[in-house]
């Protein structure tokens, strides 16, 4: 059994906190006193969202949206690799109306882009006044669909990461640092 301490730290809690504070300052400046509705993508973005919104100096509120992808879970062995069909399905809708609101969609990581492309299309259908995307992590080398975030915490290499909301089979979300999970095959 390998322990958490064996997983290499990619981003320490201090690095994350400093960058999230900068992102909150940037969002505060960009929305200049306007109200903002943050929409977090369950479950991975919950921790990032809670740290971010507490440092945004705006009239803000937040909601959550839930999605799941079809396919089999990622595993450490080749034969358990993620077999995504590329289909994303809504598991929980937002509770607030987004019409005419300034909406910031908050996600843990932008990877292939399938999730955010699906969500962007869905949420733009509500006709928000302004819509943008904030992600803590961006893995541009994995992109399958052309989508970028307006706010990016860190650009990272193609390694499977856990902690600070990111899971491996629902584990490790509560780790305060972001660590590298070796040997996870993604498609």
Chain positions contacting ligand IMP, by CB under 6 A: 44, 107-116, 160-161, 166
In the complex, minimum distance from the CB of residue 41 to Mg ion, in angstroms, rounded to a whole number: 6
Of 28-87, which residues contact Mg ion (CB under 5 A)? 44
- Is the Cβ of residue 37 or residue 110 nearer to ligand IMP in the bound state? 110
Count other C-beta atoms under 10 Å from residue 38's C-beta: 23
Which residues does 133 contact at the CB level (< 8 Å), separation at least 6?
104, 105, 107, 110, 116, 120, 147, 148, 149, 150, 151
Contact 108, 133 (CB under 8 A): no
In the complex, minimum distance from the CB of residue 33 to ligand IMP, in angstroms, rounded to a whole number: 31
**Cis peptide bond N-terminal to 136, omega within 30:** no
Q: How far is residue 82 CA from its own chain's centroid?
A: 18
- Is the Cβ of residue 102 or residue 115 nearer to ligand IMP in the bound state? 115
Residue 111 interaction partner, one of ligand IMP, Mg ion, none, beta carbon < 5-8 Å per kind? ligand IMP
- Is the Cβ of residue 27 or residue 114 nearer to ligand IMP in the bound state? 114
User: Would you count residue 163 as binding Mg ion (CB under 5 A)?
Assistant: no
Phi, psi of 130 (to 5 degrees): -140, 145
The yes-or-no answer on residue 111 being catalytic is yes
**Which residues make up the interface to Mg ion (CB under 5 A)?**
44
């Amino acid at each position: 059994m390998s322990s958490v301490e064996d997983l290499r730290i990619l981003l320490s809690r201090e690095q994350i906190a400093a960058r999230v504070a900068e992102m909150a300052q940037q969002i505060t400046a960009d929305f200049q006193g306007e109200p903002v509705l943050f929409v977090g993508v369950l479950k991975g973005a919950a921790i990032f969202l809670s740290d971010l919104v507490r440092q945004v100096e705006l009239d803000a509120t937040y909601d959550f949206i839930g999605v799941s992808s079809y396919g089999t879970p990622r595993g450490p062995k080749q034969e358990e690799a993620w077999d995504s069909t590329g289909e994303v399905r809504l598991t929980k809708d937002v509770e607030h109306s987004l019409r005419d609101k300034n909406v910031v969609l908050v996600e843990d990581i932008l990877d292939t882009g399938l999730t955010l492309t699906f969500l962007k299309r869905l949420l733009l259908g509500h006709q928000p006044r302004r819509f943008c995307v904030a992600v803590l992590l961006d893995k541009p080398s994995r992109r399958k669909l052309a989508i970028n975030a307006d706010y990016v915490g860190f650009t990272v290499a193609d390694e499977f990461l856990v902690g600070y909301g990111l899971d491996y089979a629902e584990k490790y979300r509560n780790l305060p640092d972001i660590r590298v999970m070796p040997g996870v095959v993604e498609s």
